[in-house]
Each structure stands twice: as C-alpha cells, then as structure tokens.
Amino acid sequence: MAKKTAVSFTLNGSTVDVLVEPRELLIHTLRDKLAHTGPHIGCETTHCGACTVDLDGQSVKSCTILTVQCEETQVLTIEGFAKGGQLHALQEGFMQEHGLQCGFCTPGMITRAYRLLQEIPDPTEEEIRYWMAGNLCRCTGYQNIIKAIQYAARKLRGEVVETSHPLMAEVSL
Amino acid sequence: MNEITPDLSRLERLEGIGCSRKRREDPRFIQGRGTYVDDIHLPGMLFGVMVRSPYAHARIISIDTSKAKAHPGVHAVLTAEDLKPLKLHWMPTLAGDVQAVLADGKVVFQNQEVAFVVADDRYVAADAAELVEVEYEELPAIVDPHKAMDADATVIREDLAGKDVGAHGARRHANHIFNWQIGDKDRTDRAFENAAVTVKQDMLYPRVHPCPLETCGCVASYDAIRGDLTVWITSQAPHVVRTVVGLLSSIPESKIRIVSPDIGGGFGNKVGVYPGYVTAIVASIVLGRPVKWIESRNENLTTTAFARDYWMTGELAADTDGRIKAMRVNVLADHGAFDACADPTKWPAGMFHVCTGSYDIPNAHVSVDGVYTNKFPGGVSYRCSFRVTEAVYIIERMIDVLAQKLGIDKAEIRLRNFITKDKFPYHSALGLDYDSGDYEPALRKVMKAVDYDGLRAEQAAKRADPNCPTLMGIGITTFTEIVGAGPSKSCDILGIGMFDSCEIRVHPDGSAIARMGTISQGQGHQTTYAQIIASEAGIAASLINVEEGDTSTAPYGLGTYGSRSTPVAGAAIARASHKIREKARKIAAHLLEVSPDDMEFDLDQFRVKGDPARAKTMKEIAWAAYNNVPEGMEMGLEAVDYYDPPNFTFPFGAYLTVLDIQKRTGEIKVRRFYALDDCGTRINPMIIEGQIHGGLTEGFAVAFGQELPYDEQGNVLGGTLMDYFLPTTMETPHWETDFTVTPSPHHPIGAKGVAESPHVGSIPCFSNAVVDAFAHLGVTHTGMPHNSYRTWQQLRALNIAG
Ligand code: FES
Ligand code: FES
C-alpha cells in the first residue's frame, strides 16, 4: 500500500488534518474521511460538477485535484454556507425558485453560483448560463436554476426579492 | 372531494391540492444534508469493484484470481464459480429471461461483469481488480439486430440452445426473443388495399441512456447473528427488490430490509436489479461485513439499462382529405444480450400499443420482434411508461409524413383526425380504453399563443428567399401518453400486481405520518402527497410527515416509474384519506351527539348540517380518537389503502417548437418551445412546471445529441460524459409552459401524472421541426440525433451547405 502523507487545510473555517495516499482525490477525502458528503460524485471525470468546491477563491471540481495539493488551502463546501441557522441567499433562492428536484447536483450548483456572484454580483442571464455550464443537472431544465441565482444576486445586492412562484405556504426549517 | 365551497383562508393554511407549496425536501438538499446511497458509511464497511470484459463476445478460457486475492487489503474475489453453489450465478430478469450475474463461460457484451473484488476501500479494490487475470477467446460480435437474425448468425445465448419457446411464445431463431402482435391484421391489410393514399417510413429510435446524475449502487449489510439483511440501494422499486432478494437468497422477506434513501434521479435507470447488487449482497453474507458497490459513470453508461433501440417501419392509410383509415407498424427491437426490459410481464413490448396516439384510427396492427445482440441489456422505459416514447415518436412522425404527402398543414391534419371529446371513454383499435381527453382546444390554444399562422407565413417567406442563411422548421406534436401502470389485470412485475399503497396514521395532536410504497427520485413526493392528504382528510400539509423507501415501515408498493406515483399511489392516498375522514365523521358525530349523516365535512372540520356553529376540527377529532370514541369503535385514527387502478390514465399535450438551421454549418438553434400539458387535476403547479422543464431538457438531449453507438467489434463508443451528450446551461433552450385540465374520471381526485409527457412529447416535436425545415425539399425523415454534423450532411446532400 502506498505511503500516506499528512495534509492540513481549512475546511469551512476549521482546520483539518488528514492522512492520505498521494493519489487520493479531494472528493474522496471529503466524503469518506471528513464526513462532508454534500459534494457528490457524478462522473469522476470533471464533466458534471456535482463535486464542485470553492478552493482558495476558485471553483474546483474536487474529483480533479489530489488532496495532497490542498495543503494550507481554504476549502468551502456546501456544508459551510448556512450560518447560525440562516440560509445563504443562494440556498434560499434555490428553494424559492424550485431550482432543484433530486438535489444531487445542488451542492455543486450552489457552490459554483457562489463563485459567480463573488466575481459578478449582477450577472445577466447569458453570463449565468456561461458560468454554470460546467455543472450538469438532469432534472430541472436549468431555467429555475438561473432564476434561483438571479434571486440570490438581487437579495445579496440588498434588493427586495419575491419568488416567481406564487407560493401559499412557508416552509419552516 | 370536498362537499362544500371552501373557505379560502383555511384552504391556504391547509396547503392542499392546487397550491404551489414549497418543497419539504429542499432544506436538506440545499444544505448538503441529503442521504444518497454513497453517503452511507457503516463501521467495517468494505468496497466492491467489478472486473469487466473488454470484449463484446468471447469465451472465457480461465480466470486467475490468486494475485488479486493475495493483494493486501483484499477480502474476497468472486467469480461465477463461487456463485454457482449458491445458485446465484444467473438471476431472473424483469422480462422473463435470465441474466448472468458474473459471466458463466462466456461474455456476451462489452463491460459484462466477470469478477467482483472486495477490499478495504475503493482504491485498493481498483488496484486488485487490475490483478485479476482473465484469458479470453474472442468470438465474432453481432451489433446489428438485422444480422442477428441471419440464418448463419453466431448464437449469442448458448444457454438457450434448443429452446424454441421463450417467456413470450415461440422463438424463430437462436437470437430471436419473441414476436408480439396486436390489432386486427386482416382488417388493417384490407383498409390499406382500399385506401386512396398510403405512406410508409422507416425510422430508427437510437439506443440512448437515461443517465441520472447519481449512478447506481448499494450498501449491503448482513448481520449473521440476527440473520437480518439490510440493503441501502438506489432503487425505484424497493419492495420488489426485497421480494427478489428473498427469492434469490432464501432469506425470508421479514428478515430483509431494503432502504431507498434519497435518490439522485432515476428516469427508469434504477428499476432493474443489477449484478453489482447481487454480488455486494453475497459478499456481505459471506464476509459478515457491510459491502458497498457504487458504479462509475462509465459502468453506468455501458452496462445499466439502455433505452429504445427500436428499428421501426410505420405505415398509414388515409383518404385524400387526410382522414386516417389504418396504421401498420413493424418493429425490430434490439434488446442486447439478455432480455432485461423493464416491461410489465404480460407485455413484451410494453405499452407500445398506444401508438395510434391522439387520433381516431379505426384499424391498426403492430408487430414487434425482439432479438439478442452483443450489447448490454436493459430496454428500460426511460422517462416514459414502457415504450410510450417510441409509440408517440412513430405516430407523430408518421402523421407529418402523411401531411407532407397530401400537402395538408401539419396542424390541420391533426385537427381532422383527433378523437373527439364525445368519444371518451374511447376504445382504441389496439385495445386500450382512453379515459378522457379534449385534444382540439389544447392544440388551438397553443396555435394562438405562438401565432401559428404568422410563423407559417414567416417560414414561407424564408423559403422563398434563396439568400436566407437559415432554414426554419416548425414542429408540432399532439400526443397522448399512457401512464399509471397499472391495473393488475394487465400489469405485473414478476407476478406481483402493480398496485400501490398508502398508510396514514393520525397522531393524538392532529399531526400525521403517511408511509408509501413509492419512492421519490426528485419528484417531490413529500410535498405533493401531503397536499393530497390535506385536501382530502383536512389535516394541514405542514403537519404531515411523508415517509417512503423503507420496506420495514412502508406498506408494499410497486414503486415509482412510468409516471405512476400520482395516478396509482396518489389514488391510494386519496382513498386512505377518505377512510380517515369517514372515521372522523363518526367520532365528530359522537362528540356532538348527532347522527353521522347529519355531519358535513368542511376543509378541516366536521360541522352539523344546518348548524355550522356546532363543529369539531380534525385536531379535536384526532385527540378524541385516542380517548373518546363511539362504543364498539376501535381506538386510533389510521387507514391503509392498496389501490389497484381500474385503468391507466391518459394525460396529453400539444407542443410546438420553432427552430432555425444554419445552412452553412448545420447548427440548429431552438428559437421557441411551447408546451401545453393536460395532466388532469394539478396538485402542485410549481412542481409540475419543474418536471416539465426537466422532461423537455431530457427530450432535447435525446433529439439533438444522445446515442450509444457501437463499432463492428461491439465496443461502445459513448461511455463517458465526454462522448455522451448531456446538455448544459449553454445549449438548453428556454421553455414556455401552459396547461388545460381534463380530469381522469376514474381517479379519486382526477389526477393523471405528468413527468414523462414532456420527454415523450418533445422528442418527436423536435424531429418534426427538423424535418419540417427540409420538407419543401422533399425530405420526409431524418434520423436522430439531429446533431450539427448529421444535419450538415443533409444540407450537403441537398446542395445547400456552403
Ligand atoms: S464528479 Fe467531479 S465533475 Fe463529476
Ligand atoms: S436536481 Fe437532479 S440532477 Fe439536478
């Protein structure tokens, strides 16, 4: 068995230390060793985006990077979004705009959209479509995902936002 | 249904049928807290990996597992020889065939399962899988189903040697599976002989894959001391899996628990039982430790459940006005190496006989031959009810072919042939009873919304202009689906009728739990099911917890596929709710000391007729159910219903798309897609719209990019997401949705089911639009997928491309 290496990085604000083989992919470390099962595996070939995390301010498909490359980095996964019982605007947006069905792509989608809104706070639909093209969804048809990101963008800019679905009922979390 | 005009404010609080209630499942998904099978980690869990065949057809000379077994961290390597003493080297398929769990003597498709390596983790298992040495003697592979039926074709299934009768009747050839015929052949032939006009068209519906984002997998955990087997599994039909596992393992079903946790999309891919499930279970029993098996994407795309692969010839006979007199269909169906189609046992070609569509066609005959080839098995109903997609494709293409021949407008020919509203319930020439439909207003509504005449005028102008850089195509489909499988008189799986179930328990505080035989793969059951109970039993949806997918707690049900959850399970929910309501009526009457007949139901309470001030809310009634019931009545407030539907349901729709084809490059841009669906009573409009978006996107993928091609040696050429097209945000068009409501007369709340309609209806709509762009040049059909290269070739052939 290959020799293991100790790696430390910051995961959603907390330092983690983990022993891994040099060939181990970040997605497997996150899911199997660090119990962060929010990022999912849809392809392991960098096509689907279900495993997207934010690494030092960049969207990274965690099936594409070795854990040993993550030494002293800052990793943000979906588990780091809601703070103090408060959903992130993107999480709220996906729920309000029905931007998900099976939910399998959702953690990767939200993580990627987060990076988009960091870079472009007021994206056009074309920009959203371009930025999100590395994240596949088999259920939603993308239209509501785009609306969810627009919802979050407006909310983060301090605008009053209403959902485009006439919802009668609030869901308590 | 409710007896009185509802009070809107209370109705809103109930969050019942018709409201766009936000999804109960979302909070866990948006926070990364869903529980999919691969998220399950058990102490001591091992990981299993398949060793697969590089050849499509080869004899196995030897398998040497010694090096793999000696590799540190490896716990077992299973081959067919290890499964034989357990009689598990072959398993029954849903279609009455058998399938090798691990190849027994020879392999019959590329990537077939040959050995199963179990090790400490996925890396070690993958290393060890490389060390399994298999010696093969390659045999000629058959990839073309027509060649499979040649007199001298290689025999693919040697295990069936000498068997001239299969599960569905006589076999004509060693590679023949069945012939299935339906309709009146003589009458249909006569109608063709006497017809003024006939048309005939060959078309291939290519082999595609449902490709949910989550692959298949399971975690099997056998407790040797208790004798209990628990399996977490990506299954659309957990109860049937329990029965199958019971039959295969001889463990009583009472000791088996199958759990389908959250599922990352199914689309038909997760109906069948795959070899990996069986080997993981065997390994767990043998090793006494939990074993996880999760497919890679490549394994998913090349071994689990393809769809379609229908070589079809359609014929229509009509008079000169375009009124259809007869339809004839011949199909050669490529089923791969094992007949593992997910069809109800009694119908080898599923519900393909809905292929007369929305039209009043008096005579029809269909003949389908299934054949074996050296391709992976499956034949699942990908986002459709058992071959409905193929059925709708052929009729919707054929009616365009006929319109073209007669020079009749494509909308007009449909209006002339629709089954009219007064003919429902309608008995079709192929023996189905359509429950309800109102097709003409649906099509007219769409035509008005898109300004159909304006579009045709624009198209005519563009056709007249030789310098126009694009060809414009308008596609129409007016389809009828058949969902809600199904009546046990016509549908079963391995001998179990296709009913579905619901159990509701109302707790003393008035909240409730509902347990179901279905399982959501993104359809939002937890949300919509509670809405049905809210409306039908008067308990606010927010107080209802819906549980699915655990066979230890849920009543037996046949699962979720073929848009059957709402038509079948939804009906069970409504009926269980009504049972709750009837008991509540008696308790309320007892509390108010009046006769139950004097009580009327009003949303969330029972009140005395003529004296509305005297009322008992469902909350009060629930409390009383546990301390003060009429004499002789059982305590508690609960009900269970197993619903066996009297018929299928027949949702329908009218779709229209407009696209532009670049003459120079063959690039196609979908300019507009307008989808009008009628799924009967609408439970949650937001969820319905979401499902339509999703179905249209999957239809777009099939029409414009998906196929699983093979080379001559039987190598799959589309085994990764690099080769197999899944549309992204960049390609996916904008969708417009609309609806009409024609309730099902036999469903307790009139709901029909919707999620597959957009897939079934959009694919021929896209094809019709592509062909329509070329129609003025004499083209009657072009094959899917309509990718740019193929379209460019078409343009070249017509001397149009630059
Ligand atoms: S799993 Fe990483 S991109 Fe698909
Ligand atoms: S919601 Fe199912 S894959 Fe996106």
Q: Is A80's pLDDT higher than 50?
A: yes
The ipTM estimated for the assembled molecules is: 0.96
The reported pLDDT for the residue numbered B461 is 98
Whether A129 contacts chain B with CB within 8 A: yes
The reported pLDDT for the residue numbered B373 is 98
Cβ neighbours, 10 Å, residue B789: 11
Mean pLDDT by 10 residues, chain B (802 residues): 62 88 95 97 98 98 98 98 95 93 97 98 97 98 98 96 93 97 98 98 97 98 96 95 90 96 95 95 97 97 96 98 98 97 88 97 98 95 93 98 98 98 98 97 98 98 96 98 90 89 97 95 95 96 96 94 90 97 97 96 95 95 97 97 95 98 97 98 96 98 96 94 96 97 96 94 98 97 96 94 70
Token pair 């307008």 is found at B674
Smallest CA–CA distance, residue B21 to chain A, in Å, is 6
Phi first, then psi, for residue B169 (nearest 5°) are 105, -160
Q: Is A172's pLDDT higher than 60?
A: no
CA distance B264 to B726: 15
A:72-101 residues touching chain B, CB 8 A cutoff: 77-79, 81-82, 87, 91, 94-96, 98, 100-101
The span from the first CA to the last CA of chain B, in angstroms, equals 63
Token pair 């949300």 is found at B527
Expressed in angstroms and rounded, the spacing between residue B263 Cα and the centre of ligand 2 is 10
Whether B669 contacts chain A with CB within 8 A: no
The reported pLDDT for the residue numbered A173 is 37
Contact between B696 and A94 using a beta-carbon 8 Å cutoff: no
Contacts of B721 in chain A (CB under 8 A): 43, 45, 47-48, 136
The reported pLDDT for the residue numbered B392 is 98
8 A C-beta contact, residue A167 and residue B21: yes
Contacts of B212 in chain A (CB under 8 A): 102, 104, 138
CA distance A93 to A158: 14
Mutating which of B29, B262, B735 best tests the A interface, going by the most A Cβ atoms within 10 A? Answer: B29
Contact between B26 and A81 using a beta-carbon 8 Å cutoff: no
In 3D, which of B210, B282, B295 has the Cα closest to residue B562?
A: B210
Whether B508 contacts chain A with CB within 8 A: no
Peptide bond into B6 cis (omega under 30): no
Peptide bond into B764 cis (omega under 30): no
8 A C-beta contact, residue B131 and residue B67: yes
The reported pLDDT for the residue numbered B2 is 45
Question: pLDDT tens-digit profile of B426-468?
Answer: 999 999 999 999 999 999 999 999 999 999 999 999 999 999 9
Q: Is A1's pLDDT higher than 60?
A: no
CA B297 to chain CA mean position, Å: 20
CA distance B397 to B395: 5
Token pair 């965690």 is found at A62
Phi first, then psi, for residue B243 (nearest 5°) are -65, -45
Structure tokens of B507?
């707790």
Which residue in chain B has the smallest CA separation from A129?
B729
Phi first, then psi, for residue A67 (nearest 5°) are -60, -35
* Cα atoms found within 13 Å of the Cα of residue B549, Cβ hemisphere only: 22
- For the entire predicted model, the pTM comes to 0.96
- Secondary structure (DSSP) of B188-205: HHHHHHT-SEEEEEEEEE
Pocket mutation for ligand 2, best pick of A40, A132, A138, A149 (most atoms within 8 Å of C-beta): A138
Expressed in angstroms and rounded, the spacing between residue B500 Cα and the centre of ligand 2 is 26
The dihedral through the CA atoms of B407, B408, B414, B420 has a sign that is: negative
Expressed in angstroms and rounded, the spacing between residue B196 Cα and the centre of ligand 2 is 50
Contacts of A1 in chain B (CB under 8 A): 72-73, 124
Expressed in angstroms and rounded, the spacing between residue B41 Cα and the centre of ligand 2 is 23
The reported pLDDT for the residue numbered A166 is 65
CA distance B723 to B718: 5
Burial (0-12, 13-18, 19+ Cβ within 10 Å), B771: buried
Q: Which ligand is nearest to the CA of A60?
A: 1
8 A C-beta contact, residue B522 and residue B263: yes
CA distance B381 to B209: 10
From the list B72, B524, B728, which residue is nearest A133 (CB)?
B728
8 A C-beta contact, residue B785 and residue B702: yes
CA distance B520 to B554: 14
CA distance B588 to B605: 9
Question: pLDDT tens-digit profile of A13-72?
Answer: 999 999 999 999 999 999 999 999 999 999 999 999 999 999 999 999 999 999 999 999
Helix (H) / strand (E) element for B133: namely strand B133-138
DSSP state for residue B356 in the 8-state scheme: T
DSSP state for residue A3 in the 8-state scheme: P
Q: Is B756 a catalytic residue?
A: yes
